[in-house]
A and B are shown apart, each in its own frame.
Chain A
Amino acid sequence: MSDYKNLILSREGFVATVALNRPKVLNALNLELMTELVDCLEALDQNAGVRAIVLTGNERAFAAGADIKEMADATAVEMLYRDQFARWDRIRKIKTPIIAAVSGFALGGGCELMMHCDIIIASETARIGQPEILIGVMPGAGGTQRLTRAVGKGLAMEMVLTGRQITGEEAMKAGLVNKVVPVEFYLEEAQRLARTIAEQPPVAVRLAKEAVLKSFDTTIEMGLEYERKNFYLLFASEDMREGMAAFIEKRKPEWKGK
Chain B
Amino acid sequence: MADYQTIVTSLSEGVFTITLNRPEVYNAFNEQLTTDLLEAFKEAAKNETIRVVIVTGAGRAFCSGQDLKDAPTGGGKRSLRDSLERRYNPLIRAIRKLPKPVIASVNGVAAGAGASLALACDYRIMADNAKLIEVFVRIGLVPDSGSSWFLVKNCGVAKAFELAATGDDIPAEKALELSLTNQVVPAADLESETLKIAQKFANGPTKAYGYIKRMMDRAAAISLDEALDFEVYMQEAAGRTEDYTNAVEAFREKRKPEYSGR
Contacts of B234 in A (CB 8 A): 182
Q: Which 5 A-B pairs have the closest CB atoms?
A: A182-B233, A184-B237, A185-B233, A181-B233, A182-B237
Contacts of A184 in B (CB 8 A): 233, 237
- Complex CA gap A184/B240 in Å reads 11
Contacts of A185 in B (CB 8 A): 233, 236-237
Chain A nearest Cβ from B99, distance in angstroms: 11
Q: Contact residue range for chain B?
A: under 10
Residues from 202 to 250 in B contacting A, C-beta threshold 8 Å? 214, 230, 233-234, 236-237
Main SS class of interface, B: helix
Can you name 7 A-B pairs with beta carbons within 8 Å?
Answer: A181-B233, A182-B214, A182-B230, A182-B233, A185-B233, A185-B236, A185-B237
Q: Contact residue range for chain A?
A: under 10
Residues from 189 to 228 in A contacting B, C-beta threshold 8 Å? none
- Complex CA gap A224/B230 in Å reads 39
Nearest neighbor of B214 in chain A, beta-carbon distance: A182
- Chain B residues with CB under 8 Å of chain A are 214, 230, 233-234, 236-237
- Complex CA gap A48/B35 in Å reads 57
Knowing that A182-B237, A185-B236 touch, tell me 9 more A-B residue pairs with CB under 8 angstroms: A181-B233, A182-B214, A182-B230, A182-B233, A182-B234, A184-B233, A184-B237, A185-B233, A185-B237
Nearest neighbor of B232 in chain A, beta-carbon distance: A185
Contacts of B230 in A (CB 8 A): 182
Chain A nearest Cβ from B140, distance in angstroms: 32
Contacts of B237 in A (CB 8 A): 182, 184-185
- Complex CA gap A185/B231 in Å reads 13
Contacts of B236 in A (CB 8 A): 185
Contacts of B233 in A (CB 8 A): 181-182, 184-185
Nearest neighbor of A185 in chain B, beta-carbon distance: B233
- Complex CA gap A181/B214 in Å reads 13
Contacts of A182 in B (CB 8 A): 214, 230, 233-234, 237
- Complex CA gap A184/B237 in Å reads 7
Chain A nearest Cβ from B250, distance in angstroms: 24
- Complex CA gap A182/B234 in Å reads 8
Interface centre among B214, B230, B233, B234 (most CB of A within 10 A): B233
Chain B nearest Cβ from A172, distance in angstroms: 13
Contacts of B214 in A (CB 8 A): 182
Chain B nearest Cβ from A224, distance in angstroms: 36
Q: Mark A152-190, 1 if CB is under 8 A from B, else 0.
A: 000000000000000000000000000001101100000
- Complex CA gap A184/B211 in Å reads 11
Nearest neighbor of B240 in chain A, beta-carbon distance: A184
Chain B nearest Cβ from A161, distance in angstroms: 21
- Complex CA gap A184/B235 in Å reads 12
- Complex CA gap A181/B236 in Å reads 13
Chain A nearest Cβ from B171, distance in angstroms: 39
Chain B nearest Cβ from A169, distance in angstroms: 11
Contacts of A181 in B (CB 8 A): 233
- Complex CA gap A181/B229 in Å reads 10
- Complex CA gap A185/B232 in Å reads 11
- Complex CA gap A185/B233 in Å reads 8
